[in-house]
Amino acid sequence: MRSRTRIARAGRGLLIPLVTVVLAFIAGGFVVLFTGHDPFSTYGAIFDGTGLNWLFPWVTGTARTTAAFNLQQTLVAATPLILTGLSVAFAFRVGLFNIGAQGQYTVGGVMAVWIGSIFPNMNPVLHIVLAIAAAALMGAAWAAIAGWLRAVVGTHEVLSTIMLNWIAIWVATYLFQAGGPLQSTTEAGNPVSNTIVPSAHLPVIWGNPLLQGLSIGIFISLAAAVAFWAIMNRSTLGYEIRAVGHSPDAARGAGISVARSYAVTMAICGVFAGLAAATDVLGWEFQISTGDLTISQVGFLGIAVALLGRNTAIGTVAAALLFGALETGTSVRALNSNVFNPELASQLTLIIEGLVVLLVSTDLIAVRILGLPAKLGLGRPRAGTALDRGVPDEAATAAAVTEGLEGKLEQGV
């Protein structure tokens, strides 16, 4: 009986995001239909674009080579999304809303590119570890500012992280712009950083290192997800974090310092976001231009990833893979333009992502349609009991997320 309720609970946790995604895809299908295309062949082409067809043994020859390349791109895109997703999810669990993953990612990237480029002849292992550690610590320090402000002064973390995002982006822009202190020493006129030396490149495990092959960054992401799970579910720190997230009053009553939990949690979030930057910079980017800084949305997408992943480690990994696949599958490079215009397709991705976020953060539609609680015998929440799902303020969440996605639409990425 115990395992049954557990399975029921897990099933509910899994079903709602799944239904949400399906609904979003169906809605996206109608959009495709309105543009005068066939939704089935479009989704088929997108699927091929993600490289997931590589998993089918009957795909052979050049199709297989293309599929392998596309799948590498999907995983490369998913790598930092996993980490920024974890960053946001970790904060959610203590009841904080970390909109600052983007800023933490930015400062982490600056550190990674700086350390990766200033030591010309270091031992590669040492160099990589040093650059990763520097990025993670920088992200942690940046996030800790927001945690500290919330813990000590009471400044709401949504405000402080948004501000810190802009500060990070503009400081980094200043550093790399023409005449800036960290601007490239070899490309005098360009607003770019120095290029990382080979000893700091993450080893590529699949594909061509010169064509954005898949680096060991994916293992860093997965290891971080495992660490997330272990800290959250098996450590005293995670136990405190969850207690504070569910009920600060009860946590306080048990002698847990809520302020300390906020500060520590934010610092850990920053580690995840900083690692995300390290995997990108050391894995395939190797150089940062000021243009990248404002265009990058990895941190904001992390919010959507965390929401869809229900703030769990495994859910975040799955959601990041989905988002990474969508981005790759609809990219100009991967999508068969005879079937659907990739320009339109990337907008389609945004629509699907936006719908997913909206549906997940309201949660209602999937629940209504399935009538899930009754079917799984879970009942509605007890009268007077706010069933905490670990999401601090859903309205604010949805609003901020849509804002992030809108920003992306405007920039027409």
Ligand X SMILES: Nc1ncnc2c1ncn2[C@@H]1O[C@H](COP(=O)(O)OP(=O)(O)OP(=O)(O)O)[C@@H](O)[C@H]1O
Could you please report the per-residue DSSP string of 30-82?
HHHHHTTS-HHHHHHHHHHHHTGGGGSTT--HHHHHHHHHHHHHHHHHHHHHH
Beta carbon nearer to ligand X, 13 or 180: 13
Asked if 249 is part of the footprint of another protein (rule: CB under 8 A), the reply reads: yes
CA distance 303 to 404: 9
Beta carbon nearer to ligand X, 333 or 380: 380
Residue 220: CA count within 13 A, CB half-sphere:
32
239 binding partner (options ligand X, another protein, none; Cβ < 5 to 8 Å by kind): another protein
> Out of 10, 22, 250, 369, which residue is the one contacting another protein (CB under 8 A)?
250
Sketch the per residue contact string, 324 through 363, with ligand X: x for CB under 6 A, - otherwise: ----------------------------------------
Residues pairing with 206 in the sheet: 214
| Angle, vertex CA 91, rays to CA 89 and CA 97, nearest 5 | 100
3 state SS of 183: strand
CA-based torsion, 304, 310, 316, 322: positive or negative:
negative
Asked if 2 is part of the footprint of ligand X (rule: CB under 6 A), the reply reads: no
| Angle, vertex CA 223, rays to CA 217 and CA 228, nearest 5 | 125
Beta carbon nearer to ligand X, 8 or 137: 8
Tell me how far, at minimum, the Cβ of 242 lies from ligand X, in Å: 20
Contact 346, 49 (CB under 8 A): no
Tell me how far, at minimum, the Cβ of 197 lies from another protein, in Å: 38
> Out of 61, 387, 410, 412, which residue is the one contacting another protein (CB under 8 A)?
387
Asked if 382 is part of the footprint of ligand X (rule: CB under 6 A), the reply reads: yes
Contact 87, 276 (CB under 8 A): yes
Residue 56's CB is within 10 A of a number of other CB atoms, namely 11
- Amino acid sitting at position 107: V
Judged by CB under 8 A, the stretch of 240-248, 261-269, 294-302, 310-318 that binds another protein is 240-248
CA distance 123 to 127: 6
CA distance 252 to 60: 60
> Out of 113, 131, 251, 269, which residue is the one contacting another protein (CB under 8 A)?
251
Beta carbon nearer to ligand X, 171 or 378: 378
Beta carbon nearer to ligand X, 181 or 379: 379
Residues pairing with 214 in the sheet: 206
Asked if 368 is part of the footprint of ligand X (rule: CB under 6 A), the reply reads: no
Beta carbon nearer to ligand X, 179 or 382: 382
Total binding residues toward another protein, as defined by CB under 8 A: 35
Buried b vs exposed e over 123-145: b needs ≥16 C-beta within 10 Å? eeeebbebbbbbbbbbbbbbbbb
Total binding residues toward ligand X, as defined by CB under 6 A: 2
Asked if 121 is part of the footprint of another protein (rule: CB under 8 A), the reply reads: no
> Out of 11, 198, 291, 381, which residue is the one contacting another protein (CB under 8 A)?
381
> Out of 379, 387, 395, 412, which residue is the one contacting ligand X (CB under 6 A)?
379
> Out of 150, 201, 242, 408, which residue is the one contacting another protein (CB under 8 A)?
242
Output the six-digit token pair for 280: 């990108």
388 binding partner (options another protein, ligand X, none; Cβ < 5 to 8 Å by kind): another protein
Residue 380's CB is within 10 A of a number of other CB atoms, namely 10
> Out of 1, 125, 188, 395, which residue is the one contacting another protein (CB under 8 A)?
1
- Candidates 153, 201, 176, 159; CA nearest to 107 is 176
Beta carbon nearer to another protein, 192 or 271: 271
Beta carbon nearer to ligand X, 179 or 384: 384
Asked if 383 is part of the footprint of another protein (rule: CB under 8 A), the reply reads: yes
- Candidates 90, 405, 121; CA nearest to 274 is 90
CA distance 330 to 25: 13
Q: Which parts of 254-273 interact with another protein (CB under 8 A)?
A: 254-255, 257
Tell me how far, at minimum, the Cβ of 380 lies from ligand X, in Å: 7
Beta carbon nearer to another protein, 181 or 255: 255
Residue 32's CB is within 10 A of a number of other CB atoms, namely 21
Binding site for ligand X (CB under 6 A): 379, 382
Binding site for another protein (CB under 8 A): 1-2, 4-6, 8, 234-237, 239, 242-243, 246-247, 249-255, 257, 374, 377-385, 387-388
